Structure 1
């Protein structure tokens, strides 16, 4: 077995060797390059994967915007608030429709409006703010009379809490103001009669046959029911006229009476009369009116315009992306999208009992693209839409909603996370790009060495510092070479002027 003795410390460390070799080896000589490292191209070509990823990202953005527009068209607010109601005689009745209203029509006949009970002073005064009526207090109670005639009752049943209003030297105006400020369930007004004099009128705050009122008086003159002083404002229809029933009833409380499509109805109020599901009317006068509830054409037209705009914008953007970067031959998944969208706007849809099944029947007319494979466009003919609306308003609206949903479903098959085709394609390209980058950025393992050390040292010294791989390569190479031919190595190193001592530093024993 061979062994080395007297191994020179100068050769035991490659620190003195490597600085002299670094300029010769930094160009990749240990990798077998005879000419050193070549300079990188000043203008590296674009990564085709990155180009397609960018385009697919733009395509996803286009589809997301498209879907947002479509979802607004068939959103619950639009779908269930797209009806309007009209009255043929708005002086007789006004009408409104809620979200649950269905297309319908009603014939409303009003024979009697609901009224509030009103009573007026039997006396009048030449002024409303200076002549004193009296002093004392008024106790006002709301409730229901059991009538034997329009002005006479056997009893009064209170439904409200009695309210007492103090009056001191009250004039008509001050008494009205005090009553209204008390919140007693009645309304007081000073009115001027045909002769120019003034009277006080008191009315129930609510209409309806069961909404009446009673006023009892505590008069400072000591008589609470006579025709003098404050007692002139007493009003109790269970008492005699002029003796406790001192106000004169000018309007009796009554309910509204009407028929809806021949069916009789009655209401204590003239407001919010239910004609059908989600349809109500306010009664304004006696008479007749035809009430129609239908899809609002303005909203239908707006939805149709929105569908056309969303489709044309999306297809225009897709055409630009596919025509410029994603070639049909390279990306058949993306290239198929505009053709599928073209098919959707020309498709026939199930529309319940309606005969309207094609968008073209609504005036949404498809125009083919100038080049096969690109996206087409839609144009709206408003006259055709109006004609379709006039023949089947509900069917027209439902077809717009159905088509918008179908287009959104198609777009979602490309954009949905987890199973969207564009999402999956993007993920696959990203994985491929990561693999490529890993290969490119992983340094090559040195596996080629110069033929001998003389060859190693013969290169010009014009390169930069060594890499870690080159340093490791030199160490291994020199070690093996020195073991195999120690004297030749020393002589060679000395001959190259590397500053090693001329005396031998090696000895070998067998």
Structure 2
């Protein structure tokens, strides 16, 4: 039975004070309007100033990227010093090359001794290299250095590397040489033919130098590891007696190269890469003397100067065109400062060692101011001035260009580097701002009114309207107050709006 305990008829006055629920549910007052969505769409179609600035910053970074690539070519070591000229008066004695740091200079090189590799040959010879068996067992080869008491006798041997053991089975001279060379033991084996036409095995250290020696220990299948029979004939240890463990015959001692450069003595384990001076090295080919002359090449210097001016002018022209049309100093001071910073950089004084050439204007690169303050200027090259600087201090002129290119690259990098570049950071901040604006524009607004009817509410969240907490609370309060004054009417309205309540299933009791 539908009943309301303690019902007071005076509450029926709510019928006259509150609007009819049915009329509200069926009116447009409780409908989530779609007008807000259409307004958001209209506003998003407007031109986005952030996107315009992002495009400008992207173009600026592209300009600077091209500028940096050109600068890096100017001071790359392969270009910076690759154009230098170096000559040897006696190329049979030494060849010469230049690298980073080369200066105009002359060197008198006198080679008294070339570096040599330790080498020894079998004391016996065979009529063939591939048929006659030398022996079987194993060879243990160790590289290191001897403490010599004479050219062929030593008190001790100090290993430099781990010994390598090689198994030999019925080895001939050729097969033994192949086994040694395949073991990467730090030595090289060759079968050589002597003056009588017989064959011998020669073993040499892979590296030259007085400290690069080797020894060979033998485990001979005939039971004697140091005699002059079988595989033990290949034993070579200069701490042992000749013929009893020192069975190979030393044919070349391990030696360092000995030489003088402008009278100063030098020694090296190798004949290659001998440093004569800053950025100048020689390969020793024979004993004797040679005059080495090094000059910076003017042609390369002129090319580098032209490249620096061209790269600067191209970058500044592109920046002027872009910033003059798109970004004003008032709304982007970071970008607007760029051309002025570049202008200042090419007018700076640079540290250049002991050279008196410290400014680009001294090597013929003159700066021209722009027609309007705040824009980028230009560089022009006077080749005659560059030639004069080269004639007085060619290495100083070259180094000034390299230093200026590196400094300009560092300045550009302060704008473009990931993580710390000012343009990169500005771009990220604008992208974040743009994303936040897009979230605001495209996030559906919560309607301030209720759905058309309760059936739409029941279909939530598949319905098209959303209810805020305030709306739900208001609807609940409306129903509560209305039920006190007119419970039976409310019951009928709810059933009529599709809540699934039967006409006998509702009871309100106070």
Contact 1:354 1:392 in 2 (8 A): no
SS at match of 1:253: coil
Q: Map 1:318-333; keep pairs closer than 5 Å.
A: 318=319, 320=321
Alignment partners' CA distance in 2, 1:261 and 1:234: 45
Query: Which residue is 1:250 aligned to?
Result: 251
Q: CA deviation at 1:110?
A: 2.2
SS at match of 2:251: strand
Query: Which residue is 2:349 aligned to?
Result: 349
Instruction: Structure 1: give runs of 5+ residues left out of the alignment.
Output: 1-8, 14-46, 435-510
SS at match of 2:396: helix
Alignment partners' CA distance in 1, 2:411 and 2:225: 84
Alignment partners' CA distance in 2, 1:402 and 1:200: 60
Alignment partners' CA distance in 2, 1:411 and 1:257: 47
SS at match of 1:309: helix
Q: CA deviation at 1:174?
A: 1.2
SS at match of 2:254: coil
Q: CA deviation at 1:387?
A: 5.7
Alignment partners' CA distance in 2, 1:145 and 1:345: 60
Q: What per-residue deviation string (whole Å, max 9, x for no partner) do you get for residues 329-363 of structure 1?
A: x99x9999899589658847355554445545534
**Does 2:138 match 1:121?**
no
Query: Which residue is 1:309 aligned to?
Result: 310
Alignment partners' CA distance in 2, 1:183 and 1:206: 13
Q: What per-residue deviation string (whole Å, max 9, x for no partner) do you get for residues 40-87 of structure 1?
A: xxxxxxx9x999x99877765565445445555667994788445765
SS at match of 2:129: coil
Q: What per-residue deviation string (whole Å, max 9, x for no partner) do you get for residues 257-284 of structure 1?
A: 1223322222333345455567665444
Contact 1:208 1:269 in 2 (8 A): yes
Query: Which residue is 1:503 aligned to?
Result: none
Alignment partners' CA distance in 1, 2:357 and 2:132: 75
Q: CA deviation at 1:157?
A: 1.4
Query: Which residue is 1:402 aligned to?
Result: 404
Alignment partners' CA distance in 2, 1:412 and 1:168: 68
Query: Which residue is 1:498 aligned to?
Result: none
Task: Give the TM-score taking structure 2 as reference length.
Answer: 0.54
Query: Which residue is 1:265 aligned to?
Result: 266
Aligned-CA RMSD value: 6.0
SS at match of 1:88: strand
Task: Give the TM-score taking structure 1 as reference length.
Answer: 0.54
Q: Map 1:197-276; keep pairs closer than 5 Å.
A: 197-215=198-216, 217=218, 218=220, 220=222, 224-226=226-228, 228-237=229-238, 245-275=246-276
SS at match of 1:129: coil
Alignment partners' CA distance in 1, 2:223 and 2:230: 7
Distance 1:71 1:181, change over 3 A: closer
Alignment partners' CA distance in 2, 1:407 and 1:208: 44
Alignment partners' CA distance in 1, 2:413 and 2:249: 74
Query: Which residue is 2:158 aligned to?
Result: 159
Contact 1:294 1:394 in 2 (8 A): no
SS at match of 1:393: helix
SS at match of 1:111: strand
**Does 2:391 match 1:392?**
no
Q: CA deviation at 1:220?
A: 2.3
Q: What per-residue deviation string (whole Å, max 9, x for no partner) do you get for residues 87-124 of structure 1?
A: 5336544667776x464745443211221221222343
Alignment partners' CA distance in 2, 1:279 and 1:206: 23
Alignment partners' CA distance in 2, 1:412 and 1:182: 53
- Worse overlay, 314-323 or 111-120: 314-323
Alignment partners' CA distance in 2, 1:279 and 1:397: 16
Alignment size in residue pairs:
395
Alignment partners' CA distance in 2, 1:360 and 1:243: 77
Contact 2:130 2:174 in 1 (8 A): yes
Query: Which residue is 2:194 aligned to?
Result: 193
Alignment partners' CA distance in 1, 2:291 and 2:263: 12
Alignment partners' CA distance in 1, 2:238 and 2:314: 75
Query: Which residue is 2:149 aligned to?
Result: 147
Query: Which residue is 2:171 aligned to?
Result: 170
SS at match of 2:174: helix
Contact 1:114 1:268 in 2 (8 A): yes
